[in-house]
Chain A
C-alpha cells in the first residue's frame, strides 16, 4: 500500500541550529501539506503545495521556516534557527487534488523534533 514517507523520524537539535525534514508523498498526489502538531493538540497547517507552487503559507513563520517542493514531488521543510518553542511533531500529508470536499489527506509517520 502506498505511503507518505518522512525522514527522519526523530530529531534532536540545539537552539539556534538548522534542521530539515523531508517528505515524499504518495505517487500521483499533487497536493502536499506540512503540519505542526504540538503535544496534546491537533495538527495545524504550516504550508500547502499544489504541484511545485505554494498555495497557502499564511501560518508559516517565514522569518525562520522555509519549505520547497522544487519538482512537484518530494518536499523539504527547514527551520533556521531552531527555537525551543519549535519542539513538536511535524507531519506531512498528501492528497490527490483540492477543490473537492472528499479530499482525503494521507499522513506520514511524522518527525518528532526536540529543541534543547
Chain B
C-alpha cells in the first residue's frame, strides 16, 4: 500500500522568502511518480510539479522545485520568492506505474504568506 505523510499542518513564510514543504512517502513500487498540487480557498486543485522516480535531476517549474531524495523517500516542495497568492493548501501525491494504481494524497500543509 502507498502512503503519503506531510508532517506540517501549517506553515508561515514572509513574502519574498523561500519555504520548504515536507513530504515523505512509502511504497513498494519500483517505479512511481510524485506530484504536488495547490488548493486555494476557492477549492480547485492546481497541478504544480511532477517528479518521476527514475528522474536523475530534481524537477523545477518556475518558482517551484522539488527536492527529491529517493533513498530517504522524501519529495519536498520548495517555493522560492513567496508571494501573497501562494497562500493555500498544498498536497503531495503519488501514483505507481500499474494501470489501476490510484493517486494517493497526503493530508496537506496550509501555507500562509505574510506581507
Contacts and interface: CB of A to CB of B under 8 A. Distances in A.
Contacts of A43: 45, 91, 103, 105
Nearest to B107: A42
Among A42, A48, A107, A108, the most chain B Cβ lie within 10 Å of the Cβ of A42
Which secondary structure dominates where chain A touches chain B? loop
A42 B99 contact: no
Interface in A75-105: 89, 91, 93, 98-105
Interface in B84-114: 91, 93, 95-103, 105-108
A41 B99 contact: no
A42 B91 contact: yes
A106 B47 contact: yes
Interface string B7-39: 000000000000000000000000111010100
B10 to A, nearest CB: 11
Interface residues of B, number: 30
Interface residues of A, number: 27
A90 B102 CA distance: 17
A45 B100 CA distance: 12
A82 to B, nearest CB: 19
Contact of A100 (B35, B42, B47, B97): B97
Interface of B: 4, 31-33, 35, 37, 42-47, 50, 52-53, 91, 93, 95-103, 105-108
Given A102-B33, A107-B37, 11 more contacts: A33-B103, A43-B105, A48-B100, A93-B45, A99-B99, A101-B32, A101-B33, A103-B33, A104-B35, A109-B43, A110-B43
